[in-house]
Structure 1
């Protein structure tokens, strides 16, 4: 694409001209990103909300320091589990099965409002329920750490690794 075509592409998408002095390379990157995002289904709702929050919090000059402070970002809710899904977790040599129901969770014939309550019931310790059942994993865990933890988890009775859990989607039930 020529620079003029890239500028027109920018104007059609953003409904305003590109900033003065913007490089051709940045115009190309913008076009590539837009084409990729559109091809992969666009930007997700949570990302769109966060971008709108940042845009609203910013000044006309582009400064947005308050919205970028650590801890100022609101938590994005996790994708909800569908009723009928089943969580399976190995803990100290025993298999624990939790069914997702309309109003919470069912475990061992009893209803619970949270996975954290079930994790406490199983372990006697205060675990994050979603983490205990492997629904949110640490992003910083390296392969070396993971293999060490998997080796330790393989020891009988020492299983505290959330990677030993699985989720069965309720749509197949």
Structure 2
């Protein structure tokens, strides 16, 4: 089976960052994709994301860089490890920060590409996905994570509105 990725994305270390014998992605076990979970990378080094995942049991389907470039890390047909209980039915999108803590700002170019990517996902699946920040995904809360960070959290209504515009 061919991997399912957006035509807007370029594969980058695609499904190659796990250590032999561990799984940073796995089968969805027939679960339907209904949700997009938005994350921030908590780092400004866009190229360093897969390296971080070599050390942590985590992954995501996509990453968006500070200039709006989109990378595919895990095929959509697979469950990535990004949002606890929501992993089985969601697509995870990491967004690179342009500043460090405490603000963790994300560029407008990144947000523009995020909107385009979610629109593409909706079009390819023929429905509007639910869009949530990581802390609002099933099994998460603001007590367990501050992701998608102080820059993206207040922009979620704007992102959802832009995605749903025709």
Q: By the TM > 0.5 criterion, same fold?
A: no
Bigger radius of gyration, 1 or 2? 1
Structure showing greater relative contact order (alpha-carbon pairs closer than 8 Å, 6 or more residues apart): 2
What TM-score do you get using the length of structure 1 for normalisation?
A: 0.21
